[in-house]
Amino acid sequence: MARSSQAIFGLIGAGGHGRETMPFVRAHIAAHPDLGIDVDRVVFVDRQAGTAVGGHLVLAEDEFAAMDAERLFAVAVGQPAVRRAIAERLESARCRALTLIARTATVVDSARVAPGALIAPYALINADASVGRHLIANAHSSIAHDCLVGDFVTLGPRACVNGGVRIGDGVEIGAGALIRQGLSIGAGAVIGMGAVVVKDVAPGATVVGNPAREVAR
């Protein structure tokens, strides 16, 4: 792709999650012409550079970061540590993280969402919740009122975080997991698929089952 002064958007990750995310990326960009991004300036950024995925060119990360244009991006990589490393590299190259919200998602007007979030179809961020940088909220996941969610947190499909929960940076919450109201989930914790969390989770712990029990630290 030739260099240009026109803005370009890069979706980082051309795997399964990236391919699921791209349709609502296109819809979001089409609904926000103020971003100045044409559909042919929407690309994947991945190791498959030089190919095309779903009709979108794939660029290498260093190629994208070096382009002579305004570079906006979001990271469609589920693992929080990997997502953090990529985002920090791109931000240090003066690329700008863009928050992307699917048309059918709901972010209420009192909620606060930091840059870089990917909020998938039918996800919900409810009253006075605050979520950190580069959240991934997969389809049908929900964060209830007054939750405080750190940076680089991943919610799997249909994960449900009830009111007043505090979630540290880099937490992974598996598909269908349920977290009781008012709990604290420490940084780097992993909540297994379908887990029912009824007590606080220590930083770095992995919990599974119903009720959820720690299996690793």
DSSP for residue 201: B
Q: Which amino acid is at 172?
A: E
Neighbours of 199 (CB within 10 A): 11
- Alpha carbon 115 to its chain's center: 10
Q: How long is the chain?
A: 217
Cβ–Cβ under 8 Å, residues 52 and 58: yes
Question: Does the CA dihedral 187-202-145-193 come out positive or negative?
Answer: positive
Catalytic positions are 145
